[in-house]
Structure 1
Amino acid sequence: MYTGKILFISADNTGNGHKSITEALRHQIKKLDATKHLEVVDGFSMGNYFFRFLSKLYSPIAVNAPLIWGWVYRLSNHMVNTINVMCSRIIKKKLLQLMKEIKPDIIISVHAVFTGSVTRILEKKHMEIPVISFIADLDNVSNLWADSRAKYILCPTKEAEDKMKSLGIPSERLKVVGFPVREEFCSDIPDIDIEVKDSANGSISVLFINGSQGSRQVLKMAKKLLKNGKCNVTIIAGKNEALRKKLEKQLAEYSEEQVSIIGFTKEIKKYMTKADILILRASPNVLMEAVNLCKPIIITGALKGQEEKNPEFIEKYQLGCICENYKKISSVIQELYAFNQKKIVYLKNNMARFRNPKAAYNIAVFIIQQCNQQIKEYRNTKEIKSNPVIHDIISQ
């Protein structure tokens, strides 16, 4: 019996967030209904060489030329129709080929560029395949997400929903669903009891994440903490081998007990769980993983554009601390541990209230329901068209 096909349109080279969201949702859908056929395509792979090359420029520009990326991001908010038209022309041939090969019942877009461009192609070709988009950002959401042709726009936060409403998307098309994270971060509420530690005796374990997105700042902060003897430091450098070697060289004077440099790892949760404090960039996926684990976080900055308001978001809900000046990192940690760690307890309790470990599960349930509904509607339409009597009655 046919049970349905779901196509995810994601992106492989514009950060890891889109892939992480797609992975979380696919996993839950497969657990709920293993018979569903799931396909994932990198939206940029449907374009020409130049289009694919552009996607690979995202990280270098966003990290090394943040002002340029911020300007491009703001400009895109005023060129939504132009971008959708251009992208639809670029991806049209391969998208239609995919539609013919896969024959999806529903399309899930987790990248802003592939919402309006995809719905435009489907509309022009009179292909009634519903598109549901998931906004992959907490706040400062791109206008590209606001496409009235999408059947639903799933919003991770109230801030994202408010932005969509301000751009004319009706409330009935919007659903606030929380931010989906991988299942390993979705266990029952973590124990928020505090082990008493002294910020002056070197017993505090600090984990730096996303080092490749700001190596200079990470290195300065790590040296500051190690020099003062406040903490033991672990830095995850990811796939950036050059960064890993640079950090190992710069921090060679410290013992293995004091500092550990990790390359690419699939055991990110293990390191996050072991750490007392997480120091990271305001990437929404890592932020929400930390929140689900109820781990105290210190934000050192954010990429321009889609991440720009994330530090403000964290402060608004009192989920962490902000420290953009490496010289102040020691005092920020001391403040966390002052008064018998009162602030840490406060932050962890806020995280416990804010976290939504069932977000991926609930979104998966909704997607499956929409897919099944589409199949049912298609079958009913097929039966009506094949029965002249019923078709004539409905036509009247």
Structure 2
Amino acid sequence: MRKKRVLLFSEGFGTGHTAASRALAEGIRRLNPEVQCRVFELGKFLNPTVAPWVLSTYRATVSTQPKLVGLLYKSQYHNPLSRLTRMALHRVFYSRARRVIERLKPDLIICSHPLPAAVVSRLKSQGLNVPLFTLITDYDAHASWINPETDRYLVSTSRVKSILTGRGISSDVVGVTGLPVHPKFWTSPIKKESRRELGLADMPTVLVMGGGWGLMFGKEIMDALTSRMDQIQLIFCMGSNDRMVRRLSSDPRLNHPNVKILGYSSEIHKLMDAADLLITKPGGMTCTEGMAKGIPMLFYKAIPGQEEKNCQYFVSIGLGEVLDSEAVIDKWFRLLRTDYAAMEEQRRRRLAAQRQQSPSCALSVLELLGSPPRPAEQPARTPRPQTQPQARSEEPAYVTP
């Protein structure tokens, strides 16, 4: 019998979209190894010469002109990609997409970025007969995610579902599955063991993440961070920004045995296990991974647009706080030093609730694909993919950016 095949299409605008596709693919494999999954950054795969230039330009714009990015996001917030735009995308960047799909013969396509979703939707309007799921990777729903040929939307919260239904999407095709996280985030080992494995001291620990591109904050916050290094261990994980790693490594304030400076790491799950507090930009995937690990989060320098919405969501449900002054650092460092046991108890409670949600997205996809988890692979307690804790189900649907 032929194995089911799932193609997951993403793009490299930021690291979260592709991380979501890979996490979902690995979750599906973990729950049912008989389902074959392949992940592509479709534009890069089809245009290996042009795509790096496009991504580099986008990265430079986000880094130097975040307000412009926010303005573009808000100005088009209610406008799906037009028929003309979809045609142009197809002809300029994705002209060979149909050939790839027909060669690989998937039973399902899942897109975690609006551009490949728009292209596959156009192909479906021209006769491509493959179900299309769209995985919205933030805690908001920009209209660019919406396409008439999408068979199902996989969304993070009931609020995002309400935004889609408010734009005319049938509630029957919107599943509140939560965002997928890699199976590495489904469990939480003992903190002392994680620290020992990573070569860290067993003391209150703060993980500072700059996002996949290693964006950072200013001098005042850095001064506050480094003021308690004798009592609090700092781990800086700067992603692929090698220049930032060099800059931090040469900073005399960080020349301390309780400071670790890292670039890209494939062990973020272990670092979160070892840490007591996460300081990060509010990317959708990083926030979801932090939630899966039960770690409290401080958010800095949200990119106007989707990161602002992510930040608002996690602050509203009590899992994060905006890092807008040194006073916020001082408060949390004081809690780590004087009320550590209470923080640990709160984290245990968050983990107990979150453990029911982590595999939900992969389980939902397998159910809709008609390939349920194999008994040996199924979690001990099966989550109900489309239910959310009552406190989250009453969220208002803010449809303005």
Shorter-chain TM-score: which interval?
0.7 to 0.9
Instruction: Using the TM superposition, give the Cα deviation of residue 165 of structure 1 relative to its aligned residue in structure 2, in angstroms.
Output: 0.8
In the alignment, which residue of structure 2 is the partner of 1:232?
233
Structure-2 separation of matches of 1:190 and 1:231: 19
Structure-1 separation of matches of 2:247 and 2:48: 36
Gap change, CA 1:322 and 1:333, over 3 Å in 2: farther
In the alignment, which residue of structure 2 is the partner of 1:310?
310
Instruction: Using the TM superposition, give the Cα deviation of residue 277 of structure 1 relative to its aligned residue in structure 2, in angstroms.
Output: 1.4
In the alignment, which residue of structure 2 is the partner of 1:89?
91
Q: What are the residue-to-residue correspondences of 1:189-268 with 2, within 5 Å?
A: 203-210=203-210, 212-217=213-218, 220-229=220-229, 231-251=232-252, 254-255=255-256, 257-268=257-268
Kept in 2: contact 1:221–1:326 (CA 8 A): yes
Gap change, CA 1:367 and 1:14, over 3 Å in 2: farther
Structure-1 separation of matches of 2:31 and 2:348: 31
Answer 1 or 2: higher relative contact order, Cα 8 Å, separation at least 6.
2
* TM-score, length-scaled by structure 1: 0.80
- Decide which of 107, 110, 116 is 1:108's aligned counterpart: 110
Query: 1:74 corresponds to which letter in structure 2?
Result: K
Kept in 1: contact 2:280–2:297 (CA 8 A): yes
The farther-off stretch of 106-115 and 331-340 is: 331-340
Kept in 2: contact 1:205–1:231 (CA 8 A): yes
Structure-2 separation of matches of 1:204 and 1:225: 13
The farther-off stretch of 37-46 and 103-112 is: 37-46
Larger Rg: 1
Query: 1:28 corresponds to which letter in structure 2?
Result: G
Instruction: Using the TM superposition, give the Cα deviation of residue 351 of structure 1 relative to its aligned residue in structure 2, in angstroms.
Output: 5.8
Q: What are the residue-to-residue correspondences of 1:111-190 with 2, within 5 Å?
A: 111-124=113-126, 126-139=127-140, 141-187=141-187
Task: Say if 2:301 is the partner of 1:301.
Answer: yes
Unaligned runs of 5+ in 1: 192-201, 372-396
Unaligned runs of 5+ in 2: 192-201, 373-401
In the alignment, which residue of structure 2 is the partner of 1:4?
4
* TM-score, length-scaled by structure 2: 0.79
Gap change, CA 1:190 and 1:353, over 3 Å in 2: farther
Kept in 1: contact 2:236–2:262 (CA 8 A): yes
Could you say what the CA RMSD is over the residues aligned between the two structures, in angstroms?
Answer: 2.9
Kept in 2: contact 1:209–1:237 (CA 8 A): yes
What is the aligned length? 356
Q: Percent identity?
A: 20
Gap change, CA 1:338 and 1:315, over 3 Å in 2: farther
Q: What are the residue-to-residue correspondences of 1:12-27 with 2, within 5 Å?
A: 13-27=12-26
Which structure has more helix as a fraction of its residues? 1
Kept in 2: contact 1:317–1:350 (CA 8 A): no
Structure-1 separation of matches of 2:51 and 2:233: 44
Structure-2 separation of matches of 1:190 and 1:152: 38
In the alignment, which residue of structure 2 is the partner of 1:385?
none
